[in-house]
A and B are shown apart, each in its own frame.
Chain A
Amino acid sequence: MDILNIDFKSLIPTLVQAYTKVYGDEYQDLIEEKINKAYFFEYNNYLSLNNYVFNLKKVMARKYVIRFLKMFNIDIPPFSDYYSLNEDDIKAIKGIFNNALDAFLFLRNDIPLDAFKKGVELNDKTINLRLQLINYLKSDNKELTKEEFLEFMNSSEYASLVKKINEFYQVYQSLLKEYQEWLKSLEKIEKYIKSENKRMNDILAQATDEYVEKIMFLLPEALKQKGKDEVKNILFDETDISYDCDLDFFKSETLEEVRTLSASEDSIEYILLNHYHYLLSLGVEIPEELLTIKNLDDVNRYFAFLDREDIKKLIPSEENANYFSFLKGVLNKEAFNKFYLNKPEVKKYIKQNRKVTEVEINYLCKLLKSEDICVLYGSEDGKTIPILLYTINNNSFGVLSYTLLHEVGHIIDFSPYGSGFDYNDSPVSSYNKAFRRYEKFNETFNDIFCIEALNYLQENGIFLIEPEDLAIKDLSNRNSSHLTKKILYPLIAKYREQVVKAKITNNKIELTNYIGEDNYENLVDCLNKIDDLTRKGLESRLNRGINDEIVKEYYEALDDVKQIYANIDIYYNSKGVKK
């Protein structure tokens, strides 16, 4: 699958198949209808793609290391999730490669093996590398010192080891060649990354030039005299228009923070640092005693200095500084929007949605900048449709298929009022105002069913986007914590049909009729509480056997959950609708 252009349409039948298996045949038509109605919008972020490619290389590099070592009967188990090598494995890799990644991933040519290449000069570095490898290969496990090694080099044992090393080296060279051949398969994506990087840098460079051009005539004379290029260097040095420059620190809002001491000590120190840098570029040093502001006397002294005739003429007026800051903001926003709006996938989206407004485009650019993966509300022919924003971000490696299935889970539950157990007009959670009340409840259910769908596909040898060897296997803590998933399993075990119907129809009544509204709300509360505790470090505390307030609260919540399930049984037997 081409990760630059994932063909979502071709995946739809498989997505339908997976979720039909999870939810039941009776929902197949509904699932198909919902998924087909959605608009799949994949957008690419070159920085995250760069990281993704690095991870691909890392995985492949490790495979080559394992292959290499296997040829010499050094059996290292396959790396899973890139972690956990035991001491012997590390010794083997360290001995031969120094660092497994250096040889293949970083293509460094100063690994221990390379120190035995024909014609390599014997110096301190190469001797140390040779020593490293020889000490690993010696059968008596007795490590030589550098002095002993120099003598050892004359021995027959050394000659025999060098013969073995030469065999290693031949194998290494052929594997390296194979790895370099594989690297060519990444050329397309690396070309894309490079061109996007250049495009962004060019746009920002252009915008920075434009900014300096536009403000030149308003700058203080002493700065203006230096000319455009020098002004650009002083203001932006190794940065660009997306950063603050010294002029921003003379605007009214910022000066007021200093005048009234309303900013923190750190912030004031930082503002003064920028003033200092600015004046220094014009040959004036602010006296050190003025650079510490702790009280209003200090403030008055500092501003008296800035008000001096000889200083005042060097710094921009507040009015001008305000304008400079405003203009920079406008040009910066234009630059980023220009970058995003000219992405082919964005142009295609806008072309296909002729009625999309400027406000919506700006909002879309904002979402693309933050690399959001989410389901948005869109409209088509007067009807509300879900739009899936999908991208590869720094978190994506090994979970591209999972992420897609997760979002499709939301699409299936999508309605104009919300999705699954979550509602647009839901109040915020009483435990964490960052989340809606039913958000984490919904997310946890969605994750549980998504994992079921993913497992079904993988058990049948179907890997949607990434191949099997890249897919991360343990997803129990992905997105939602396994601790929140745990408290919902009993509900699914007993009321699966009702849970599924409530979720798919975005109507909790399909479930509360059976278990009781109070019990439902109490379960939501408990889940929110446990979710919040996981964000406060609950999991690591449990793993380390710590028993503090957070852990105590967790066990109290588990007791509450136990009681809720007991109450659910009572409700079902007495008042609940019967299955």
Chain B
Amino acid sequence: MEVKEIVFTKNNDKLIIDFLNKKIFYQDIIYNIKEDLLKKYLKKFMNITFNWQEEYINNTLLDGQSWEVIILYNDNSFKKYKGHNLTPDNFEVLKRLNDNLLQEVR
């Protein structure tokens, strides 16, 4: 199945990678992105999220941060990962990947 869009949300922060139109939407700026960059990104993204569970929850912290990663496919099906006060071990790798992507397009 082909990926149409990936949406990352952490509290009020949202990053949308639109594979169809080759655009990135982040903090009210729209960036164009080249196909080869998108392909490299997707390869790494799949690598990072391959073993993720659907949900990560830690109810013991006072105060909290919620996050969500949604992968939308061309056939309109989707896969969702989410969490509250807990992230997969390699969540930071995804953050680095996303921030490096933004650096490339800025």
The answer to whether A and B come from one shared complex is yes
Interface set of A (CB-CB < 8 Å, partner B): 47, 50-51, 54-55, 58, 82-83, 101, 106, 200, 238-239, 242-244, 266-267, 270, 333, 336, 369-376, 393-395, 397, 406-407, 410, 414, 418-419, 422, 424, 428, 433-436, 439, 443, 478-479
Would A55 and B66 be within 8 Å (CB), given that A242-B93, A243-B48, A374-B85 are in contact? Answer: no
Q: In the assembled complex, how far is the CB of residue B13 from the closest CB belonging to chain A, in whole angstroms?
A: 4
Q: In the assembled complex, how far is the CB of residue B42 from the closest CB belonging to chain A, in whole angstroms?
A: 12
Q: Is the CB of B92 within 8 A of A435?
A: no
Of chain B, the residue at the smallest CB distance from A424 is: B60
Q: In the assembled complex, how far is the CB of residue A361 from the closest CB belonging to chain B, in whole angstroms?
A: 16
Q: Is the CB of B64 within 8 A of A50?
A: no
Q: Is the CB of A369 within 8 A of B92?
A: yes
Of chain B, the residue at the smallest CB distance from A237 is: B43
**Bound Cα distance A266, B40 (Å):** 18
A333-B89, A479-B11 given; 4 more Cβ-contact pairs under 8 Å: A54-B106, A238-B44, A243-B48, A374-B85
Report if B75 contacts A (CB, 8 A): no
Contacts of A394 in B (CB 8 A): 10, 13
Chain B at the A interface: SS class: mixed
Q: In the assembled complex, how far is the CB of residue A438 from the closest CB belonging to chain B, in whole angstroms?
A: 11
Q: Is the CB of A435 within 8 A of B84?
A: yes
Contacts of B65 in A (CB 8 A): 370-374
Q: Is the CB of A50 within 8 A of B62?
A: no
Q: Is the CB of B95 within 8 A of A443?
A: no
Contacts of B46 in A (CB 8 A): 270
Contact among A106, A397, A439 with B64 in the assembled complex (CB-CB below 8 Å): A439
**Bound Cα distance A15, B101 (Å):** 38
Nearest 7 A/B pairs, CB to CB = A434-B84, A47-B99, A395-B13, A374-B63, A242-B93, A370-B87, A375-B62
Q: In the assembled complex, how far is the CB of residue B99 from the closest CB belonging to chain A, in whole angstroms?
A: 4
Contact among A51, A270, A419 with B62 in the assembled complex (CB-CB below 8 Å): A419
Q: Is the CB of B12 within 8 A of A478?
A: yes
**Bound Cα distance A374, B29 (Å):** 29
A–B complex contacts, Cβ < 8 Å, 24 sampled? A50-B99, A54-B106, A106-B106, A200-B96, A238-B44, A242-B92, A270-B50, A336-B92, A369-B91, A372-B61, A372-B85, A374-B61, A374-B62, A374-B65, A375-B63, A394-B10, A397-B27, A406-B63, A419-B62, A434-B55, A434-B82, A434-B84, A439-B59, A439-B64
Q: Is the CB of B63 within 8 A of A244?
A: no
Would A443 and B63 be within 8 Å (CB), given that A239-B44, A435-B84 are in contact? Answer: yes
**Bound Cα distance A375, B65 (Å):** 12
Would A374 and B64 be within 8 Å (CB), given that A47-B95, A51-B99, A243-B44 are in contact? Answer: yes
Of chain B, the residue at the smallest CB distance from A47 is: B99
Of chain A, the residue at the smallest CB distance from B8 is: A394
Of chain B, the residue at the smallest CB distance from A54 is: B106
**Bound Cα distance A419, B50 (Å):** 37
Contacts of A238 in B (CB 8 A): 40, 44
**Bound Cα distance A9, B41 (Å):** 43
Report if B28 contacts A (CB, 8 A): yes
Contact among A47, A55, A239 with B27 in the assembled complex (CB-CB below 8 Å): A55
Of chain B, the residue at the smallest CB distance from A442 is: B62
Of chain B, the residue at the smallest CB distance from A396 is: B13
Report if B47 contacts A (CB, 8 A): yes
Q: Is the CB of A370 within 8 A of B1?
A: no
Q: In the assembled complex, how far is the CB of residue B38 from the closest CB belonging to chain A, in whole angstroms?
A: 14
Contacts of B103 in A (CB 8 A): 50
Contacts of A410 in B (CB 8 A): 62-63
Contacts of A433 in B (CB 8 A): 57
Of chain A, the residue at the smallest CB distance from B95 is: A47
**Bound Cα distance A244, B45 (Å):** 11
Of chain A, the residue at the smallest CB distance from B94 is: A242
Interface-central residue, A58, A243, A419, by most chain B CB under 10 Å: A243
Contacts of B63 in A (CB 8 A): 373-375, 406-407, 410, 443
Of chain A, the residue at the smallest CB distance from B93 is: A242
Report if B76 contacts A (CB, 8 A): no
Report if B102 contacts A (CB, 8 A): yes
Interface-central residue, B85, B92, B95, by most chain A CB under 10 Å: B92
Q: Is the CB of A267 within 8 A of B50?
A: yes
B residues 66-99 near A (Cβ < 8 Å) are 66, 79, 82-87, 89-93, 95-96, 99
Contacts of B96 in A (CB 8 A): 47, 200
Q: In the assembled complex, how far is the CB of residue B46 from the closest CB belonging to chain A, in whole angstroms?
A: 6
